[in-house]
Structure 1
């Protein structure tokens, strides 16, 4: 069994999600002592730009021109990164809110690995369907200004809605969402942290 821990924040141990993720990992190790756990820091990883060659390679599966040499090389790189992602059984994502959405390095990673024939299939009469089956994911959502139930001036949650939809798009249906979203008006931020840690532990042992 393998868990891939994808870090969406560039702040390392200072990230809001760090303590919550650490609690998840401790509980996961206790539940699965022989599991392999790999950390993927998106801010240190060598991710290629999703440029014209990579877009053309993807669109060749939808009826565009066949791939040329440069596009085939770009596609081979995409396959390598996506295969590494697919090799995991379980996933842990830390997903901070940036401008109501997700960090751009996480979005780049999603664009790289969301590929026809690799993570999703497509039929002209039915549309897209996910290919990743029998996998589990936990997403830890954090924010510093937004909090559920607050007025729109405190932000709009496009990050969890987008990210959960993407997980479903690639076929991951067993998903736990953990929220750690205290803001400047939160009466008991330590209590919110304890709740998030408890939710993370529950997700790890499910």
Structure 2
């Protein structure tokens, strides 16, 4: 049994293609693995706070030296990290904004990429950074206004969503990441529908088949 963490970064509601596709991904996953649990954090509706000077001071203070106020400052970040550690699979819905990730997802990443929690730092080591997160997979569904941002596409060089997320997640130890793209939101019509269908086909390929139990009497 595994735990799936759903992260939605779109502030849109019913008009969000990433929310729709992530919902379909989770539904198919749950159908194929009914014993798994699903938890959800809606970054689009409840954006994480941005980092502050107090947060940085607290995060870079040795845990045993932190004041009660520092611990309070890091409490939200600690909840996010604990939630991440408790999950085996991450599913992210990510609209592309101006070629990068939305600010609310960037704020989330800033809260979970933490020295001493999700990565270790030893300035004397040959490789000073050690990931502290392991055994997790991530699936990222990206929605774009145009199309062709995936690898090999005509707009791939303008895609700063995938390289950033691969780098940030890989830095803390999540390096098994699959991307699904849906585009043409700005064009709509048949172009959008074809893109959504391709994304749905990819989602079907990535989600587990329904378990069939053969019971003999």
Partner of 1:20: 21
Partner of 2:213: none
Query: TM-score, normalised on structure 1?
Result: 0.86
Partner of 1:189: 192
Partner of 1:168: 170
Q: Gaps (5+ residues) in structure 1?
A: none
After superposition, residues 60-75 of structure 1 pair within 5 angstroms as 60=61, 67-75=66-74
8 Å Cα contact 2:60/2:115 also seen in 1: no
2:160 to 158, 161, 178: 158
1:174: how far off?
Answer: 1.8
Task: Describe the SS at the equivalent of 2:145.
Answer: coil
8 Å Cα contact 1:23/1:201 also seen in 2: no
**Equivalent residues, number:** 200
8 Å Cα contact 1:146/1:156 also seen in 2: no
Pair member with larger Rg: 2
C-alpha separation in 2, matches of 1:46 and 1:97: 16
- Between 1:127-136 and 1:72-81, the stretch displaced more is 72-81
- What CA RMSD, in Å, does the superposition of the two structures yield over aligned residues? 2.4
Partner of 2:80: 81
8 Å Cα contact 1:91/1:136 also seen in 2: yes
Seen in structure 2, the aligned counterparts of structure 1 residues 184 and 34 have a Cα distance that, compared at 3 Å, is: same
Q: Gaps (5+ residues) in structure 2?
A: 210-217
1:187: how far off?
Answer: 6.8
